[in-house]
């Protein structure tokens, strides 16, 4: 009777599909996130014109401004790719630099969101004003929360690398965060298109 391959719990193991466990888990999780954001986007689409007595999207949206912040977020995906490339070629310092750049660009994006939301609030838009207000803020707010979590994870990666907890063979973790980051970016592209660009 032959002995089977032992299967320890995490890395360095054979998997039935050949795909790493944590990577498969991330893909599955991102699949569920598609429905999460899809449901909020559907809610927004339903309510984009229910502005009650409050401001409308035409009153508020500053497309050039939001285009710039969208561009910033897009660039952060580029820096993320560069970080992973650095990791693959075992360039720890380069990886840290690009990861930091990604986090920074993410922070600029969040800063831009906060500024934009404060402006809208001054113009009279709030959760409590109209279904449009509710769905706009909750959709973009949750997206911002996801970006923030991503920033925290990026900074954690940088920290781990600095304290030698992220080995040169550990591109897997960087790849995982990269997957998440790109997903959050794609969601933003959809939100930007559906919410800002397509007129109500």
Residue 50 has a CB neighbour count (10 Å cut-off) of 14
Shortest CB 197 distance to another protein, Å: 23
Binding window for another protein (CB under 8 A); candidates: 48-56, 91-99, 175-183, 189-197: 48-56
Q: Which is nearer to another protein, 68 or 152 (CB)?
A: 152
Sign of CA dihedral 42, 48, 50, 55: positive
In the region spanning residues 73 to 92, those forming contacts with another protein, defined by CB under 8 A, are none
Task: Please select the residue that binds another protein; options are 114, 165, 168, 169, rule is CB under 8 A.
Answer: 165
Q: Residue 81: name the closest of 180, 171, 178 by CA.
A: 178
Calculate the alpha carbon distances from 65 to 69, 193, 198, 200 in Å.
7, 14, 16, 19
Instruction: Work out whether 196 is an interface residue with another protein (CB under 8 A).
Output: no
Among 5, 64, 122, 199, the residue binding another protein under the rule CB under 8 A is 5
| Alpha-carbon distances, residue 147 vs 86, 158, 168 (angstroms) | 22, 16, 26
Rounded Cα distance between 110 and 182, Å, is: 16
- Rounded to whole angstroms, the Cα distance separating 125 from 6 reads 59
Does the protein bind another protein through residue 162 (CB under 8 A)?
A: no
Q: At 9, list the tokens.
A: 């719990």
Q: Which is nearer to another protein, 130 or 140 (CB)?
A: 130
Selected from 9, 58, 64, 122, the binder of another protein by CB under 8 A is: 9
CA distance 44 to 46: 5
How far is 60 from 125, CA to CA, in rounded Å?
Answer: 9
CB of 157 to another protein, least distance (A): 10
Candidates 80, 134, 170, 185: give the one binding another protein (CB under 8 A).
Answer: 134
122 binds another protein (CB under 8 A): no
**Binding interface with another protein (CB under 8 A):** 1-10, 15-17, 19, 21, 24-25, 28-29, 31-33, 35-36, 39-40, 43, 46-47, 50-52, 127-135, 138, 142, 152, 156, 160, 165
């Amino acid at each position: 009777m032959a002995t089977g391959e032992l299967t320890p719990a995490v890395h360095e193991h054979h998997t039935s599909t050949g795909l790493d466990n944590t990577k498969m888990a991330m893909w599955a999780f991102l699949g569920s996130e598609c429905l999460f954001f899809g449901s909020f986007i559907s809610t927004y689409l339903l309510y984009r014109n229910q502005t009650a007595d409050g401001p409308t999207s035409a009153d508020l949206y500053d497309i050039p401004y939001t285009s710039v912040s969208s561009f910033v977020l897009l660039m952060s995906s580029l820096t993320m790719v560069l970080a992973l490339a650095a990791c693959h070629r075992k360039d720890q310092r380069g990886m840290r630099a690009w990861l930091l750049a990604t986090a920074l660009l993410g922070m600029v994006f969040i800063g831009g969101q906060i500024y934009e939301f404060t402006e809208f609030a001054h113009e009279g838009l709030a959760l409590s004003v109209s279904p449009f207000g509710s769905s706009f803020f909750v959709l973009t707010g949750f997206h911002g929360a996801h970006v923030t979590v991503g920033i925290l994870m990026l900074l954690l990666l940088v920290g781990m690398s600095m304290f030698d907890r992220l080995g040169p063979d550990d591109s897997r973790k960087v790849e995982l965060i990269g997957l998440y980051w790109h997903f959050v970016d794609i969601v933003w592209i959809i939100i930007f298109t559906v919410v800002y660009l397509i007129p109500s």
